[in-house]
Amino acid sequence: MKLRQQENQCLNTKARRSLIEQNIAVIGAGPGGYVAAIRAAQLDANVFLIEDREVGGGTCLNRGCIPTKTYFKNAELMRDLRRAEEFGITVDNFSLDGKELQNRK
């Protein structure tokens, strides 16, 4: 590892560029994969980003970070609506439309 770092430091900019001007395959278009692919493309590599799902973004976009935050927000809003009277607000009626929640996610 240390030797590799020293070798890299010895390479001039042109040599370093020629190292990166290659074909690079990145497997998986999650946050790890697409960031690596974008960076490699910025460094002039020919990048092949391989994803086996229809939609990129990985767990974070499709099942993890983003969807869970949508559900959290919904739960928070429902809780506030239930407590509305404590704040002098009258809410006659409200209900959760699960389909709309899924669409928003």
Ligand X SMILES: Cc1cc2nc3c(=O)[nH]c(=O)nc-3n(C[C@H](O)[C@H](O)[C@H](O)COP(=O)(O)OP(=O)(O)OC[C@H]3O[C@@H](n4cnc5c(N)ncnc54)[C@H](O)[C@@H]3O)c2cc1C
Binding site for ligand X (CB under 6 A): 27-33, 50-53, 58-60, 64-65, 68
- In the bound state with ligand X, the residue whose beta carbon lies nearer, of 10 and 55, is 55
3-state secondary structure of 89: coil
Q: How far is CA 102 from CA 10, 32, 96, 97, in A?
A: 53, 26, 11, 9
40 CB-contact burial (10 Å; exposed 0-12 / middle 13-18 / buried 19+):
buried
Amino acid found at 7: E
- In the bound state with ligand X, the residue whose beta carbon lies nearer, of 63 and 83, is 63
Q: What is the DSSP letter of 44?
A: T
- In the bound state with ligand X, the residue whose beta carbon lies nearer, of 16 and 30, is 30
Q: Which residue is nearest to ligand X (CB)?
A: 30
